[in-house]
Structure 1
Amino acid sequence: MTTLLGLPTAADVATAATTIRPHARRTPVLRASVNGRDVLLKLEHLQLSGSFKLRGALNALSCVDHPTRVVTASGGNHGLAVATAAALLGVPATVYVPESAPESKTRRIEAAGARLVRHGATYAEAADAALAAVTSQDVYLPAYDHPDVIAGQGTVGAEIVADASEVDAVVVAVGGGGLAAGIALGIGDRTTVAVETKGCHALHAALEAGRPVDTEVSGVASSALGATRVGDLPFAVLNAPRTSSVLVSDDEVVAAQALLWEEFRIAVEPAAAAPFAAWLAGRVPAERPCIVLCGANSAWTTEP
């Protein structure tokens, strides 16, 4: 399904769209106006499992012949997606998460039928433990640095351009880079605006250095955007002129999250509000952007 270099292609995204169709939702695009400015929102938080991650997990697992067990590590969303995809495809799953993984996500991983293992203080430590537990009969599914995962995530972009051909850019949050890379492959010659917080900026640091580098992780969106290093495959796709890197502050993310609720009654996790924050701040270099609201897997309370 991939090229000899291991990089996914636009054709792989098209194939993935067919592969995941029996199980994944085709999420809607909402045309709206905020503060007198027109905007399009891709409501991917309505996806099964509550985030875009299901697409990549479904595609990657569907590409394996008769898997006996899938093992993965996750800060939360990927683990829930793998647990959900595995249940849909009838495959046992084990998910490793760091001790800091929020209960709002770990509870749902177990409810989906996966075995949950808490290990370490960071995603990297959880991933090391997961890899050490993999046997020759297991499938290890990375959260973002995998060609079939990237191709599956790219179906978000393909749906956007099919439903809103006027879009000239897609604005998306970046953790390890799988979603942004997939979208870049799925939207043709349009711009990918990759948004990170100042405390979670692995892609921004990599683009400045010319290669993936280790970074510190902190802040309000760290449970979802907390990759300390962007994936090699995502970086190879995103290190291109059609990628624009934007940073937002934690305060801007929280304000964007609140505005989405106030204006639309849309409750998303902080990571999903980051692209909206960039747009509100006027940092999106596009006239007709579509903002991806990528997930809603966080505890949510409102005033009575």
Structure 2
Amino acid sequence: MTLHIETPLIKSRALSLKTDRTVLLKLEGLQPSGSFKLRGVGFACEEHKRRGARRFVAASGGNAGYAVAYAGRELGIPVTVVVPQTTSARAKALIRGEEADVVVHGASFAESNAYALSILGEGDAYLHAFDDPLLWEGHATMVEEIARQTERPDLLVCSVGGGGLLAGVIEGLRRVGWNDIPVLAVETDGAASYNEALKAGEPVTLPKIQSVATSLGANKVSARIVALAKEHPVRNCLVTDAEAIQGSVTLLEEHRLLTEPACGASVAALAQVPQHFPNAQRIVVIACGGVGTTSQQLLEWSDFCRLEGDQIGASRSNEVKASESQHP
């Protein structure tokens, strides 16, 4: 038995009609912890328990921290999760609900992570949010499932934060002999650490994250996914926050799935498939999930983006009218 479950792979009629392609959704938000994170985290926690770990320590105010807390409770191992001061009350409550100790420390993930490392004692195991081969090994199981659930796709689409999911997806493709199937890696404009790393040829640190898709907000990606871009057909693309939010709204309205904009970003990226992979007809989107967004938040963000779009549209219309009046 594993801590994660095998998740459904469904055909999205709505997205298939919209894109004139066959779009399949791997529903990772149905994992017990609400996101794909449980695959890698669960695998790593089981391995650390086998090696004799007596406590799990993690730094994360989001899905990784929640997954470690869930895994620890299931395995009977105490968990301490260090979160930054910006972590929402809801996120802290979710982690505490899994019987983990929550320590609030630092203004950023980097400070929380440094503190988590400083409190490690004998018998403690440290769980990184994304940069750990054990995590990648666990995440790879989703591709093994996809290979059992459907025929060979032309393209996989997944969101990128720190890179744990992307590294796992590529490892999974190798396991099932799909080495030549490309991956479209998706970020939002304000959290484009992978995009910057690819341009530089190595991981670079973003000065700040400016995106509503906070689960994509790793200031610096894993070196592993920069190296993988040279070994595997990977193309990265950027979407706006508004597009990512609309992607999550689509999943909510069409499939009754509540997800974070970090997940909606991959749905939004389908609009760029003709540009990057014009021949891809059968596409699997990793609907990675996420527990950091409520339905109320999502609808408020959607309304704000719609209002902002209307204002931009009105402003452009006025500019055109002004131009026409000056140049009859």
Instruction: Sort the TM-score into its range (normalised by shorter chain).
Output: 0.7 to 0.9
Q: Which of 182, 186, 199 does residue 191 from structure 1 map onto?
A: 182
Task: Name the counterpart of 2:122.
Answer: 136
Amino acid at match of 2:29: H
Alpha carbons 1:150, 1:178 under 8 Å: kept: yes
Amino acid at match of 2:287: L
Tell me whether 48-57 or 102-111 shows the greater mean CA deviation.
102-111
Aligned-residue offset at 1:81:
0.3
1:1-304 counterparts in 2 under 5 A? 21-34=1-14, 36=17, 37=20, 38-64=22-48, 65-187=51-173, 188-189=178-179, 190-215=181-206, 216-222=208-214, 224-282=215-273, 285=277, 286-297=280-291, 298-301=293-296
Amino acid at match of 2:283: P
SS in structure 1 opposite 2:288? coil
Greater per-residue helix proportion:
2
Q: Distance in 2 between matches of 1:102 and 1:170?
A: 32
Q: Distance in 2 between matches of 1:239 and 1:26?
A: 30
Q: Deviations over 1:145-171 (max 9, x none)?
A: 111011111112221222122312211
Q: Deviations over 1:152-191 (max 9, x none)?
A: 1111222122212231221111111001110011023211
Q: Distance in 1 between matches of 2:80 and 2:229?
A: 30
Q: Distance in 1 between matches of 2:7 and 2:62?
A: 21
Q: Deviations over 1:50-69 (max 9, x none)?
A: 01111111111222212111
Q: Distance in 1 between matches of 2:53 and 2:113?
A: 20
Alpha carbons 1:169, 1:193 under 8 Å: kept: yes
Q: With structure 1 as the length reference, what TM-score do the two structures score?
A: 0.88
Task: Name the counterpart of 2:320.
Answer: none
User: Per the alignment, do residues 119 and 152 of structure 1 end up closer, same or farther by CA in structure 2, a change over 3 Å counting?
Assistant: same
Q: Distance in 2 between matches of 1:263 and 1:284?
A: 25
Query: Where do 5+ consecutive residues of structure 1 fail to align?
Result: 1-20
Q: Distance in 2 between matches of 1:243 and 1:104?
A: 35
Task: Name the counterpart of 1:17.
Answer: none
Query: Where do 5+ consecutive residues of structure 2 fail to align?
Result: 300-328
Q: Distance in 2 between matches of 1:179 and 1:22?
A: 18
- The alignment yields a C-alpha RMSD, in angstroms, of 1.7
Identical-pair percentage: 37
User: Per the alignment, do residues 207 and 32 of structure 1 end up closer, same or farther by CA in structure 2, a change over 3 Å counting?
Assistant: same
Q: Distance in 2 between matches of 1:72 and 1:178?
A: 15
Aligned-residue offset at 1:200:
0.8
Q: Distance in 2 between matches of 1:84 and 1:134?
A: 20
